[in-house]
Amino acid sequence: MSFHIRKANETDKPTLLEIVRSWGADFIVSRGRKVYPSEIDAFLALTESDKLVGLVTYEITGDQCEIVTLDAFEKYSGIGTSLIDHVIETIRPLGVQRLWLIATNDNIDAIRFYQKRQFRLSKVHKDAVVESRKIKPSIPEIGMYGIPLRDEIEFERLL
């Protein structure tokens, strides 16, 4: 599938908000903190007919950057890889030295995906999802592959 990537702008915000709300609220919880993905930097992957097929949102704090969300709406076409590459190309010249993210313990596909893209497992935050659920009750008890959803796994890629 052919797609291109561009930076999200103000006019994309309603679309991004709609996507984020479809995950249960207008925020996600990462490391016990509410983050509003439609309000932060983002890249979109679009087909020639402008169909949205991927989205990455990220937040720079000092010399660190968190990938807050990464989604390929059409899988296995290189969209996820390309979105990550665009974030790195953007943040490297800004002096960012560490790109990090949280994947939940059930997300086996993401755990494979990131490790094959130069990310290292840096921490396990045991029962962090149990805490997140207090802030966002729509987080299910059972995640992907029927795995109990409990822990946050932190990945990092040093730039």
Q: What residue ranges bind ligand COA (CB under 6 A)?
A: 70-72, 75-81, 101, 103, 107, 109-110, 112-113, 116
Residue 148 one-letter amino acid: P
Distance CA 44, CA 79 (A): 10
Least distance (Å) from ligand COA to the CB of residue 100?
11
Distance CA 18, CA 146 (A): 27
Compare residues 75 and 120 and give the one whose CB is closer to ligand COA.
Answer: 75
Compare residues 101 and 129 and give the one whose CB is closer to ligand COA.
Answer: 101
> What SS3 state is found at 148?
strand
Least distance (Å) from ligand COA to the CB of residue 121?
13
Least distance (Å) from ligand COA to the CB of residue 55?
9
Least distance (Å) from ligand COA to the CB of residue 150?
16
Residue 65, sorted as left (phi over 0), alpha (psi -120 to 50) or beta, turns out to be: beta
Compare residues 11 and 117 and give the one whose CB is closer to ligand COA.
Answer: 117
Distance CA 38, CA 153 (A): 23
